[in-house]
Structure 1
Amino acid sequence: MRSFSLMMARFLVSAWCGAAILYVIVSVTEIRYPLFDSRIRDMLAFVRFPPYYVCGFATIVFALIFNLIAIGHRAIGERRSLISLGIVTTTLALMTLDYYFVYRPLSEMIRPPGGPKSSEFTSYHRWSEIINTVEVVLCLIAAGVLNWPRTVDDNESSSTRVSTQ
């Protein structure tokens, strides 16, 4: 069960990194598309952000659960398990704060679609960009911690190797 859980934690954290990066690429491409006016861009935000948060919360919550189960697995060790758990927990906390205190107010500011944007909108949008960048960077770090191969046990000498099979 711990091996399966480690595999799932690795997969989910890595999958969310890829999904979030792809989402940003697609979103920026849509925003810069010259034939989309302000109304269409606002409507796209209503269409794409709810699934973004559902996917993000689902992958990170399950990554956290699987990471908990996998703590101390011999392929990663307890120390790295706890580090990745802390990073994933921090990411989930940031996602929650972002959702309730940035995204939800921001989504209200674009109603009705195509309306004028306030300076408050610009400030919230900037915070959203910063927080989401931090979340993705944290996930990339967690993916590195989870996926980096363990070759030497922390409690053994450097000459004793752990099998990678």
Structure 2
Amino acid sequence: MNIYDVLKEKGITLPAPPPKGGVYTPVQEFGTNLLYCSGCGPDLGNGNTVVGRVGENLTLEEGQKAAYNCMLNLLANLDAKTGDLNKIKRFVKVLAFVNSADDFDKQPQVVNGGSNLLVDLFGEEVGCPARTAIGVNTLPGGIACEIEVLVELKED
């Protein structure tokens, strides 16, 4: 399975890697064949972003769209770093932060918007990592979601 064929088949175009919002490395190599990806928000650079608090002024579905966009940005950063998303052996860990109303408790369902994208593209074995979904009272710029991932690459 070629991931770029899957993207094309599903009508998904990766955005350009998002600009950095501070002093950090978007994707950091460590250990043997491991990549840690700094958190990405939902701004795809084309005005298609999601700002607000889920459960307050955003619906669950709008939160899921934010998580989906976050994952697209992470894939764009991984593509820029590796030059080939087919090098990914598996997604190891997802850590997600959801900008949530105080009484909102469906953060895992919000993050499914991004997790489902990984499974749809890479399959269960590669695209279904361990995961944590946390509700927070605010995120940079008021974005609805921020997600980071840990990825293992295939042996050369």
Tell me whether the two structures share a fold, i.e. TM-score over 0.5: no
TM-score (norm 2): 0.29
Structure (1 or 2) with the greater strand fraction: 2
Computing the radius of gyration from Cα coordinates, the structure with the larger value is 1
Structure (1 or 2) with the greater helix fraction: 1
